[in-house]
Structure 1
Amino acid sequence: MSKKYEETAVIAFNNTNARLQLTQNSLTVLFQELAIHHSDSLGYTLHYLSEEQKGWAITNWHILIDRFPKYGEEVTMQTWSPSCRRMQAERSFRMIDSNGNIIARASSRWIYMDFKRRRPTTISKSMEEDYYSGLESIIKKENYKLPKRDEENLVLEVGLSVRRSETDSNGHTNNTQYITWAMDLVPDYIYDGYHSYDIGVVYRRECYRNSEIIAKTYVKDIAEEKEVITCFLDANDNSIIFCEVATLWGRKD
């Protein structure tokens, strides 16, 4: 029997931008909350996982957006796990508008962690059975590869320091925070004149409160579109990459 978790939501004002559209970061926050609620419904609540000192750590996002819903719009969100075995799981998401149109979809990969030992741990057989949906991934044959950066395309380099409000219950920088930073570093002429329709994220290393980060943003022209990559590096050792965010932007109609 297939298992898919579903919720409806109304887009709140504080999740929108100056155009009253859902922001890229808020989209991932809504999907993340949906995943948490799905786990809660299966009995793997945050309280339970905290007591066990275990939990899910995301390693990849790939999000495709047809359009961003607006303030006050009601949407339906669905999530399911196409695969769950050994130490990792895949999770699919989709957002559907009131007309039944899929307006956003995402694939993600998660590692099950033992936070006490700070390493991946094996998913139990019962957990595998609880999460596995029997459904296909929303994005077939996803490999989560990001485009390569070219130093010739570097347009911006800034320093960041992780604040208390930017960390999660595990003490790590929250995965959605990197998307917030990346969107803030997109040049204005792209953010205002184009629309993002493809977001890829790879999380490579943990960072914590007060961690010092160097963020480098690269812009590449692809026909009439823009490819923007932001790489988050350890300010004390530039060989360490915390996260990379790649976005594709098309011209607004």
Structure 2
Amino acid sequence: MPTIDLDSDLTVFEYPYHVRYSEVGHRGLMTAPALINAFQDCSTFQSEALGVGMAWLRNEQRAWVLTHWQIVVDRYPSLCEEIAVGTFANSFKGFTAKRNFYIKDNAGKYIARAQSSWAFIDLSTGRPTRPTPAHIDPYGSHDPLELPAEDRRVKLPDVLEQREPIIVRRGLIDTNEHVNNCQYVQMALELLPRETAPTSIRVDYRRAAVLGDTIYPSIGEIGHRAVVALNDSAGAPFAVVELA
């Protein structure tokens, strides 16, 4: 975890970051999956710094599970560029939460922003459950960042073309024993007919794929947006990814 001033206001959590070689593509720019992983790491670091991290939650048989991304990228940072990655909670309602993420350049300008939705899960049952004040009070809440208005659900095109199935191997699995959220975006990017650095990414996470599952991808378009459905054998989505 990066060095953090524990006396600062950790409810708005930000840390300096240099774009690593392992995070860039052949053009020398941070990739979309690397950007998502930076966001994911940032929220993990914040939770650990606040004392409500992964080990504490696991001891209580609880976990926060991502259910939706809306990401807007104005510019992908370049190799070795100094940036700041940040996050803060917006709201908690029932068993759900909303959280913003951002990346700023070294002049303090936003170059990427994201809104995310989460569900609080009882790991012993696999069902949503209401968090207690101990789970949510440390985060506080702050006004959301401004992002373009979008529907909560990603709409599927009328016509989808099937692609080759993907078997879930061990390398796709995270600490919650299911496919990590970023992996679905990576799968979707690999299905595009040409390389792209999307400036808009939206993902609906419907159900977690686990080790040994087979994912059946299909792809279509709505206007200038590519939509990838990542389904089970019955056609029910694990995730739906929209890239533009």
C-alpha separation in 2, matches of 1:213 and 1:171:
16
Gaps of 5+ in 2: 1-8
The structure-2 alpha-carbon separation of the partners of 1:106 and 1:176, relative to structure 1 and needing over 3 Å to count, comes to same
Is 1:247 aligned to residue 240 of structure 2? Answer: no
* Corresponding position of 1:80: 88
Report the residue type matching 1:171 in the other structure: E
1:181 maps to a residue whose letter is M
Rounded to whole Å, the distance in 2 between the matches of 1:132 and 1:55 is 18
Structure 2 residue aligned with 1:17, among 4, 7, 25? 25
Match of 1:50, SS? Answer: helix
Cα shift readout 1:74-130 (whole Å, capped 9, x = no counterpart): 111111001023211100011000122210000000001111111111111233322
Distance 1:167 1:57 in 2: 14
Q: Which amino acid aligns with 1:174?
A: N
Query: Aligned to 2:164, what secondary structure does the other structure show?
Result: strand
TM-score of the two chains, using structure 2 as the length reference: 0.91
The CA distance in 2 between the partners of 1:136 and 1:107, in whole Å, is 8
Question: How large is the RMSD of aligned CA atoms in angstroms?
Answer: 1.8
- How far residue 10 of structure 1 moved from its aligned partner, in angstroms, is 0.5
Residue 172 of structure 2 is aligned to residue 170 of structure 1 = no
User: 1:217 — aligned with what?
Assistant: 219
Q: Could you tell me which residue of structure 2 aligns to residue 196 of structure 1?
A: 198
Helix, strand or coil: the match of 2:55?
helix
1:47 aligns with 2:55: yes
**TM-score after normalising by structure 1:** 0.88
Task: Report the CA distance between 1:196 and its aligned residue.
Answer: 1.4
Matches within 5 A, 1:1-253: 3-139=11-147, 143-151=151-159, 154-188=160-194, 191=195, 195-220=197-222, 222=223, 226-235=224-233, 237-238=234-235, 240-248=236-244
Q: Hey, which of these two has a bigger chunk of strand by percent?
A: 1
1:4 Cα shift? 0.6
1:147 to partner: Cα distance: 3.0
Q: CA deviation at 1:42?
A: 1.2
Distance 2:175 2:135 in 1: 22
Aligned in 2, Cα 1:140/1:159: closer, same or farther, shift over 3 Å?
Answer: closer
Alignment: residue pair count: 236
List per-residue Cα deviations over 1:5-33 (Å, max 9, x = no partner): 11111111111111111111111110001
In 2, distance between residues paired with 1:32 and 1:107?
12
Unmatched runs of 5 consecutive residues or more in structure 1:
249-253
Deviates more, 1:108-117 or 1:48-57: 48-57
- Which secondary structure state, in structure 1, belongs to the residue aligned with residue 198 of structure 2? strand
Question: Residue 22 of structure 1 contacts residue 70 of structure 1 at CA under 8 Å; is this kept in 2?
Answer: yes
Structure 1 letter corresponding to 2:241: V
Compared with structure 1, are the counterparts of its residues 140 and 126 closer, same or farther at alpha carbon in structure 2 (3 Å cutoff)?
farther
1:251 alignment partner in structure 2 = none
**SS of the counterpart of 1:158?**
coil
Q: Kindly indicate whether the alpha-carbon contact (under 8 Å) linking 2:17 and 2:82 is maintained by their aligned counterparts in 1.
A: yes
